[in-house]
Structure 1
Amino acid sequence: MCFYDQYIFACGDWKWGNFRQHCQKEYRQGETCGMKLVNGALGVDGKCKMCEKIDTKLRRKKAEEDRVARWKAEGGKYRASIEKSEAAIRALNYEIHTLETERRQRSSMVGSTR
């Protein structure tokens, strides 16, 4: 039961920070017992890496959708490009869904601050 900092992001996610204090169980110098307890919680203004990845993919998806809408409005001369962009949109939807599922699973784990 060694003590660590805990960083809490604006999105509600968290991560372990730096080691702060040994517990009474571990007698060897420089070793930890393996159990982590919160020494102090520190707020972080930004989003976690997972949320940043999701936001990036959502922006890419929006750009592709705008591009497809523009090409469709101009007529049917960009058919191959439209198909390629629609395939990219489907791939981005799958990646976004995977990341959101992973984020939900992480937030439901034991030790979550939500």
Structure 2
Amino acid sequence: MCFFDQHRFACGDWKWGHFRQHCNREYRIGETCGMKLIMQTVAVGQKCKLCEKIDTKMRRRTAEVDRISRWQREGSKFRASIEKAMEIIRGLDAEVYELSCERQRRLQGIGSAH
């Protein structure tokens, strides 16, 4: 049971930090026993990379929805642009869903680690 720092992001996700201390079970120099315990938790003031990606895609989706609304107010002359924007939104929705699933898998991993 070797000790490591834990970095906790603003969104609640976390990652392992630097190695801090060997336990008495590991006798090989420079090796760890494989079981990680938290020495200290370091708060990180930003979101994890997955949440940052989700936020970016959601901002892009909002921009596309705004564009569609603007084009629809101007009549049917932007039909092809609206269809393309709808396709972009469907793609962004799929990407956000995949990233959210990956985030859920990570969060479930936290539950089993403690």
Normalised-by-shorter TM-score class: over 0.9
Q: Which amino acid aligns with 2:73?
A: A
Q: Which amino acid aligns with 1:73?
A: R
Q: Which amino acid aligns with 1:102?
A: E
| CA displacement 1:1-53 (0-9 Å, x = unmatched) | 11100011111111100111111121111111111110111111111111111
Tell me the TM-score normalised to structure 1 length. 0.93
Counterpart CA distance in 2 for 1:69 and 1:34 is: 54
Listed as ranges, the matches of 1:68-79 within 5 Å are 68-79=68-79
* Alpha-carbon offset, residue 67 of structure 1: 0.7
Q: Which amino acid aligns with 2:106?
A: R
Listed as ranges, the matches of 1:1-114 within 5 Å are 1-109=1-109, 110-111=112-113
Q: Which amino acid aligns with 2:80?
A: A
Q: Please, what is the CA RMSD of the aligned residues?
A: 1.1
Q: Which structure features the higher share of helix residues?
A: 2
Q: Which amino acid aligns with 2:55?
A: D
Q: Give the stretch that moved more between structures: 24-33 or 46-55.
A: 24-33
Q: Which amino acid aligns with 1:64?
A: E
Q: Which amino acid aligns with 1:76?
A: S
Between the two proteins, what is the percent identity of the paired residues? 59
Q: Structure 2: any 5+ residue segments left out of the alignment?
A: none
* Alpha-carbon offset, residue 101 of structure 1: 1.5
SS state at 2:93 partner: helix
Q: Which amino acid aligns with 1:58?
A: M
Counterpart CA distance in 2 for 1:33 and 1:78 is: 63
SS state at 1:98 partner: helix
Q: Which amino acid aligns with 2:91?
A: A
Figure out how many residues of one structure are paired with residues of the other and give that number: 112
Counterpart CA distance in 2 for 1:14 and 1:108 is: 12
